[in-house]
Amino acid sequence: MRVVSERYAAGELALAERLAAAFADDLREPVPALWLAGRAALRRSALGVIEALAQRLARYGPGGAMRAAALRGAAAGRAGDCEGARAVLEPLLRDETADLASAYDLALAFWNARRLDEAEGVLERFAARASGLDHVCFAQLRGWIEVGRERYSAAIRHFDEALRAYAACGERDEWLRARILQAVSALSMETLDLPMLPQLEKQLPRDAVGEAREPVFHATQNIGWLVMLSGRPLDALAYFEQARSVAATPALRSVASLNVATYHRLRNNTSAAAEYLALARTELAGQNWLEANVDERMTLLEYALEAYHLDPHTAAATLTRYLSHTKKLQGNLSFEDDARVEAIELMARGVLEAIHRRRSSAVAALRDAGAIWARLGYRYREVLTDLLANDIDGDETWLRRAGRAAASAPKSWLRREIERRETRARTGVASLTPAERRVMLAICEGKSSKQIAAEFGRSFHTIRNQTLKVYHAMGVRSRGELIVECSRLGIVAPPQT
């Protein structure tokens, strides 16, 4: 039993479940082992095995029967049967010595049904008794209740409380800690809450096993972006590489490669960015999308949004693949039903419209996405959306909006991107003469300087000088960058690959 408990505490839930279920009947006290197997199955959303475990538990007297009922009620709540969960779990909570896991499960059932006030009420009923890991669980669920209310600053405070309680309690539960880190790092990144960064860096584990690997991956990459936003790019790259080492599925490995690709693109290392983008595309091909959860499916959107800058053709194909998958598998405490998914899908649709040179519909989709981000207070995504919209239609209004949203991260790459576009707006296409614009379009058609000179009846020296003026005006340094920039602005069709 000690080995099983250690594996569970380390985050190896499937292993702990198998060991506990296999050896429970050989133990002097099988009930704790079967109960632990059930808790591990619940965490993995493996609801199909709960009934078999409950039947085994029920053989071992009143204590086993009570645990069996608790497992069935918890499974009902996670499956969306809130009233079924309530009917089973409420009687178990009438005893003053009731296990607080059942109180948590009942609150979670209400949360899943979006009955947030009732979920909070359950936690308040038992808050005085919650200590140790129970306190941690209660605090993190309070955070998720605030997420459901779209009150993200309050959610961050509760998640922070959960992390501090975990550090103080002296008990170990790596999966639980990783899930809290994943949630609070995501919210801190989205809301540009940089003061949370020291606490997140302190709590982040350097390695992970079993089912803890996925939330540790997400937390690591989120912290990497927070570090990047705080103006520490080299440290950010180290976090992105660390995330690659714990990515457990092809989709997550693709995200890890995309992080590094974006890092290099923002650092103007186009060749390295293209290399990691190609790696991400290869890794995406190995994912089973029919069984993908919400985070894995959204990898397709993340790929498309990055590929738009470097390889619009594959961005369009990837978006089409995403839109063809309608089945949505949801894990416990996911963002599946919140407005974030809708907003990212709108961003992706905007990109797809831009690739097909339907500028007005592209901007409309991005405007709708930006409105959602602004309502949520997700300033990071709001800035990214505004920058995309500015790329597509060149309207400086987007840059002013982005500048206001990024005000809390003055050292971030976001500020540099805004300033670069402001410079381009002053010295960009509008500053080019008609002859220089013709040269720009000819370059985008793949013509050499000699060909352009012959076609326009100008000297090679004149075409070279005009080319340099085009580069300066468009903020690029090569023909390849110019073609990508012009395709992003809708001046020319995206390059085909």
The pLDDT tens digits for 127-165 are 999 999 999 999 999 999 999 898 989 999 999 999 999
Residue with the bigger pLDDT between 428 and 416: it is 416
Residue 222 predicted with pLDDT over 80? yes
Share of the chain residues as helix, strand and coil, in percent rounded to the nearest 5:
80, 0, 20
Out of 263-267, 269-273, 334-338, 490-494, pick the least confident. 334-338
Residue 483 predicted with pLDDT over 90? no
338 confidence band (pLDDT: 50, 70, 90): low
Are 220 and 246 within 8 A, CB to CB? Answer: yes
Distance, CA of 451 to CA of 229 (rounded, Å): 44
Q: Distance of CA 471 to CAs 415, 480, 492, Å?
A: 22, 11, 16
Q: Distance of CA 172 to CAs 6, 18, 132, 169, 426, Å?
A: 9, 20, 10, 9, 56
Residue 42 predicted with pLDDT over 80? yes
Q: Distance of CA 263 to CAs 169, 203, 208, 245, 351, Å?
A: 37, 24, 24, 17, 20
Are 33 and 1 within 8 A, CB to CB? Answer: yes
Distance, CA of 437 to CA of 423 (rounded, Å): 18
Backbone conformation region of residue 448, classed left if phi is above 0, alpha if psi is from -120 to 50, else beta: beta
Residue with the bigger pLDDT between 26 and 213: it is 213
Q: Minimal CA–CA distance to 369: which of 340, 393, 392?
A: 340
